[in-house]
Amino acid sequence: MLVGTFASPDAVEARDQPLEISTAPRLLYSSFQPIDAIGAQNNPVVLQVFVDGHGRVYDYKVLSGQVDAETRESIENLLVFSVFTPARSFDQPVRGTTLMSFSGISVKG
């Protein structure tokens, strides 16, 4: 009888970790500085980028925007020199897709 009187229940703590069953690839950094040809002020460009399980880009698709030869070369250089975290499914790296958008900004100073 005395044990029940002096025993206290453990404090409830929120130690839950969010369950991320799957995540999309994320851009970590790029060592290539894009030139102004990507996403010029009047020509925003949106890309769908395909990333493998090692974080390397293996393909891309232009979803919107006008892309000429110079812009396409800049996009390809940017993607080759970019490092992504791969998509994850049940904490295992897998292929995935992500969106990248480029839009020119004009700042008058």
Domain contains 107: no
Q: Is the pLDDT of residue 60 over 90?
A: yes
Domain contains 64: yes
Domain contains 108: no
Number of domains in the chain: 1
What 3-state DSSP class applies to 18? Answer: coil
109 against 48, higher pLDDT: 48
pLDDT tens digits, residue range 75-94? 898 899 999 999 999 889 99
Question: Can you name the residues that pair with 85 across neighbouring β-strands?
Answer: 26
Please give, one letter per residue, the 3-state secondary structure of 38-97: CCCCCCCEEEEEEECCCCCEEEEEEEECCCCHHHHHHHHHHHHCEEEECEEECCEEECEE
The pLDDT of residue 17 is 56
The pLDDT of residue 53 is 94
Domain contains 3: no
Q: Output the domain CATH number for residue 40.
A: 3.30.2420.10
The pLDDT of residue 11 is 60
The pLDDT of residue 20 is 64
The Cα–Cα gap between 48 and 59 comes to 9
